Structure formats: C-alpha cells, structure tokens
Amino acid sequence: MEQSVFPSQQTPESFNRFAIPVRWGIIWGILSCIITTVQHMFFMDPYALYLGIYGLVFVLALAMYCVAGIQQRKAMGGYIDFKSAFQAIFVVIIISSLISTVYTFIYFKWIDADALNRLQEQTLNSMEKWGAPEASIEDAAAEFEKSKDGQGVGDYILNFAKGLIFSSILGFICAAIVKKKKPEFGV
C-alpha cells in the first residue's frame, strides 16, 4: 500500500455545518445594529453616510463573510468547495440581514422615531448648500414624505429581499475566494 505524501483530510464526524455560519450571522447582525444606531445618532450628514458608513459596512461585510467561510473550511478539514462555502456564507447573510432588518424597523418605529425627520432636514440643507436646483430639492422632499408614510412592514420585507440579493453577490465573491479544492492524486 502506497501512502500519499499529503495526509488525507476528512471532514470531522462531529462537524456541524451550521455552527460557524450561525455564530457569524449573529455577530454580524449585532454589529450591524450597533452601526445603525451610531450612524443615526451621530452621522446624519447624507454624504458622510454614503461615503463613510456605507463604505465601512461594505468592507466589514466582505471581511465577515470571508472569515466565516475560512473558518468553515478549516472546520471541514482544510478544504471546501464553492457550493459549501456559499451555503455557509448565505446562512450568515440570512441571519445577519434578518437581525438587522428587525432592528432597523424597531429603531425607526420606537427607539428613534425622529431619525427620518433629521435625515430629511440634513439632506435638504445639504442640497441647498451645494446649489441643487429647486425642483430637485422639492422632489427629494416629496420622496422623504412618501417614504415616511409608507414605512410599513412590507417596505422592510422588500428592503430585506433587496439586501439579500446584494449580499448574496458579495457572498459569491467571498465563496470564490475561500474555496479550496482537495488535491487529486492519480494512481
């Protein structure tokens, strides 16, 4: 019997394929709630939001998804195919998105019901300061009013679905990064 130069790496029998993704989903979900709170308490300037906070969230999401995928790969014996990597990352995405969406609904409904008004005021002031046409300012004001009236559960479900789609694209990228194929040896 010939022994391989590389030891055979098997997925351990006690491996639970949901343990790592669930843990990272909860961590990322809680971190998203903290970011949402800090963002709406201290960073209401719309341009700071788009350039700073959302950029930070994007980078952190990529990092969290990759870390979860890498830990899953290690737990599976050092190898993971694309499908298994994406499945683990997708569990992280679903759990963190659900936590974040529910928290955002609660935040705007009961914790800081005035946050949307402050954001509207800040946005319109910034538009005036930078010389936006009056028609654009009025359109933005009308959109804010419409969104304030229509912030029901259905809107949050729609935003949840849109977030899943966007996050899944990031998840595909991370799964492609963390996948590692078992080497095949001919006999």
Whole-number pLDDT of residue 3: 44
33 pLDDT higher than 90: yes
List the chain domain ranges. 19-178
Which residues, including other chains, have CB under 8 Å from residue 151's CB and lie 6 or more apart? Answer: 108, 116
Q: Please compute the mean of the pLDDT values over residues 48-74 and round it to a whole number.
A: 88
Q: Examine the pLDDT at 61 and tell me if it is beyond 90.
A: yes
Predicted confidence (pLDDT) per residue in 172-185, tens digit: 999 999 999 988 87
- On the CB side of 152, CA atoms within 13 Å amount to 4
Sign of torsion over alpha carbons 75, 80, 83, 86: positive
Q: Residues 148-171: pLDDT tens digits? A: 665 778 888 999 999 999 999 999
Mean pLDDT, rounded, for 87-96 = 98
| Cβ–Cβ < 8 Å for 79, 178 | no
What does the pLDDT look like over 35-59, one tens digit per residue? 989 888 877 666 666 667 788 889 9
What percent of the chain shows pLDDT beyond 70? 86
